[in-house]
Every structure is written in C-alpha cells, then in structure tokens.
Structure 1
Amino acid sequence: MKLTPKQKKFADEYIKTGNAMQSAITAGYSEAYAKARSSEMSENVGIKSYIEERMAEIKSKRIMDIEEAVEILTSIARGELKETVVVGTPVGAETVEKEADLKTRISALKEIMKRYPGNDKLVEQQIRKLSAEADIAEANAREVTDNGTANEIRVIGFDRRAEEDERS
C-alpha cells in the first residue's frame, strides 16, 4: 500500500516522537483531525508496516559490523585513536589527548588476529613476547616508587614466564 506524503511525514514524525497527535499536526493535519484520528492513523496497516520497516533500518545501522570493529581495533593498534585523559598539574587539572599504551595496542592486535584463522604459532609467540616486554616496561616504569631489589625480582619473573611461553 502506497502512502501519501502526509502519511509518510506522520510516520516519520511518529518514529521520532512516539506522540501520534503531535506527529499528525506536524505532518500537516488539522488539530481537530489529529485529536480525533491520530490513534487510528498509527494503526493503519500501511503506516504501521512503513514504521516497522523504518525501525528495522534504523536498528541495523546502529549495530556495529565486524568490519567496523576490526577498523577500530586497527586504529587502536596503530596508535591513531586518541583518548582524553585528565592529568593533575600543580596548577590544577587539565585534559590531554594520548594514544593507547603498549598493552592496549597489543590487546587490539590479539583481537584482530583472532578474526584471521590462518595465524600461526610464530605470530602467537611474538605477541606473547611483546606482552612480556610490555609487562617489563611497566614494571620498570614503577621503579620510581619501588626499590631496586623488588623490581629486579619482578623483572626476572617476567623473563622466566616469557621463556616458558616460547618453549611451549
């Protein structure tokens, strides 16, 4: 059933507002007609099916597909996607744009690799090694607050885990 331009406008407005009477008035119907017939209009088979089709279109556009997800993960892995963080300064707080840290970038790479079943064991080992290096780098960054002995123990522990992962 083909809808008139007024009926289409009514349906589009009804999708936006959910208010049948106001949608009818906005579509160009008189206020008296809108009061008397707006609920009937929303039950009209043609208008109802048009609204259902439009709602399905809107819903499908709001859901991310796999391609979009991989594109976002790729931009994170490349350091292109920035996040806003609040940093405390002696004067107060300020916002700074920063790229993802090494661990987050590695996680993004792992997620991308899961989507490609042809990845091999060498790639997995390289990712594990990079993860271990990221853990070591993070531990070294904390060295400012830790004493040297505790930090050495932690780094040695990470090296052993990386070696064990490479052997398996």
Structure 2
Amino acid sequence: MAKEKAKKQRKERDTPLSERQIRFIAEYMRTGNGAASAVAAGYSDKTPAAQARRLLKNPLIAKRMRELTNSFVSSKVADVREILEFLTSAMRGEVLEPLQVNYKIEMVKPPVKTRVSAAKEILKRYPTDEMSKAQIRKILADARLSEAKAKQLEENGHDVDDSLASVLSKIKSADEKTTK
C-alpha cells in the first residue's frame, strides 16, 4: 500500500524521482560521498554504501546528475571562443589590470610583455608559419599511417597480441640456440 502511495505521489509531482532520490542527488553532487549522501537523504544507515551503489546505477538518477553537471559546466566553464576573445582583448590592451601607485589602485592597460604573451597564445591556436604547418601535416600523416597499419592487421586476421607473441617466441628460440 505504501509503495502504491509513493508511486501516486511521484506521478502527481510529474517527476519520476522521489524526494529522497532528489535529496541524494543534491547531497552527492555536493560531497561526492555516496554512503554519506544516502544517509543524509534519509536512507537507512545500516547499509548506506550498498544503497548508494543502487541509487547511482539508477538510470533516472544518472540522467539527472548528467543534466545538472552539464548545466553547471556550460555556464561556469569558458569555451574556446570566450578564451580567444579574452586573449585578443588582452593583446589589444582593452582589458585593464590594477596597479598600485602611491597608496592608490589605478586601472591601467596591461604591460607590453603581457600583451605579447597573449598574442603568442593566440598564435599557438592558429599556426601561420610553414614549419608549424609542416609539423601538423607530419603528425596527421603519422596518425593516418598508424591507423592504416592497424586496419590492415585486423583485416588480415592478425591480432597485435598474436604478432607480439610470435616475435617474442622467435627471440626466445634465438636466445636458446645461443645459450646451447
């Protein structure tokens, strides 16, 4: 009877999570401690670790935790565009930084050294010289070559472990011949 009442209450709230599950999520997101979060949410303190494992395996709880994490990350963490815009404004001297002058704090443009450093950081993300472009092409070519070799081994039915075992056995037999 109690389970039916709880199900009915969940449907009325239009959420598939119970109040205790919501409290568990909030506590777990705050502390990262499953057992302590289960007890704080109102679950039994006899087997809190097992209860936390069950809760964390629940797909609805995992989904809600991902949603909360994604919303937090998206609003709190700078994306690439924001970082590049900041570096550009620092390079141009548009951002001001505090400088103490005679017991007074004044906001001044960043020194040339800081502006040059910002310009270098921008250039790292957009290589323009031929040497950098050649290095990138070489890295990409090496990656493609490695992928092609791995694909060829897979297609020919060779496994990397089998190839390694074959090489090791040849080395071992060569060692045995030299020791005799």
**TM-score under structure 2 length normalisation:** 0.42
- More contact order relative to length (CA 8 Å, sep ≥ 6): 1
**TM-score under structure 1 length normalisation:** 0.44
